[in-house]
Amino acid sequence: MSLHAWVLHVDLDQFVAAVEVLRHPELAGRPVIVGGRGDPTERAVVSTASYEAREFGVGSGMPLRIAARKAPDAVFLPVDAAAYTAASEEVMATLRAQPGATVQVLGWDEAFVGVQTDDTEASARDIQQAVLDRTRLHCSVGIGDTLVRAKVATGFGKPRGVFRLTADNWLDVMGDRPTIELWGVGTKISRRLAALGISTVAELAAADLDVLAAEFGPRMGPWYLLLGRGEGSRVVDDTPWVARGHSRETTYQQDLTEPAQVEAAARELAGHVLDDVEAEGRPVIGLTLKVRYAPFTTKVFTKKIPETADREVVVARVLDLVGRIEPDRPIRLLGLRAEMTMPDDAREGHTPTRGGW
């Protein structure tokens, strides 16, 4: 009897908070908020909130000050990226050790696992147990016949559960839900779809391809149609992921108000980004500068540049972008992203993600 190929999406439950609770067992059951330097009086945002903290309305990306008002008894902890990376590597090693598994890592706390089985629920439970035994971390698993369906399914399985989405039940489960619940559709895209009269997943699945192509272009229009139907790649690709770029951002505890301050901050940011880029050994071909004016207005400036690995040239182009910043407006955050050339053997295709810049 031949086995069927399936996609499992493994997502660690409240990963960062869970790692912190393992290190501080006395915090189990308490609202835990991880972000910045762990000081809610400083300018920083929530990286992860435990389920107990989420019950107070605390969520990722929320300013720590607001989180402290919502959950005044919460424990605030600083971000410890090294600890989360080490825990993540243990999880991914556990997934790769599963018999016949192909693992495509998506980030610290999630990965696709390709398996051949006729009992997907048993495979999912085996993975959950293996991860728990080795790392003491709980995870949820989405089962799908495409990457998109497996990814979306995980949300229905949280926490510590298993859920299956296939062509047979995709529209039954997702059809009446808003398009923003699709992986890869954020606020802006959902608004543009709504302007076309497309508000639900079922409406997107039945949309006119020409209308979507006219709105989003010949590549992304058809892609959104497939997304509405839960279709797309069925193959888990374990080719090592190659970053298209590197980015850093800094939130300043005091607003930058002088041009010299802004230039110095941009130079420092560029130095960190270029250190990351040089470790890749690939030249820079584009820059994106993110500026958040006080109190909370964000602008993004982009610039394609001739291919170069010369730090001084890149910094000069960064300063060109800095010149587009509105004078006399206090700045609370600067972010910089450098896009690099891609190697010929890099993984092809597009993996949709919400957020990022």
| Residues known to be catalytic | 110
Amino acid letter for position 84: Y
Contacts with 149 (C-beta within 8 Å, 6 or more apart), sequence order:
7, 142, 165, 166, 167, 170, 230
Tokens for 216, please give them.
Answer: 């989003």
3-state secondary structure of 129: helix
Task: Report strand pairing: 139-144 vs 162-165.
Answer: parallel
Cα–Cα distances (Å) from 152 to 24, 53, 339, in that order, read 32, 24, 29
* 230: Cα within 13 Å, side-chain hemisphere: 26
**CB proximity list for 145: less than 8 A, separation 6 or greater:** 6, 7, 166, 167, 234
Tell me which residue of 23, 325, 9 sits closest to 157, measured CA to CA: 9
Longest Cα–Cα distance of the chain, Å, equals 72
Give the residue among 100, 341, 86, 119 at the shortest CA–CA distance from 236. 100
For 213, phi then psi, to 5°, come to: -65, -35
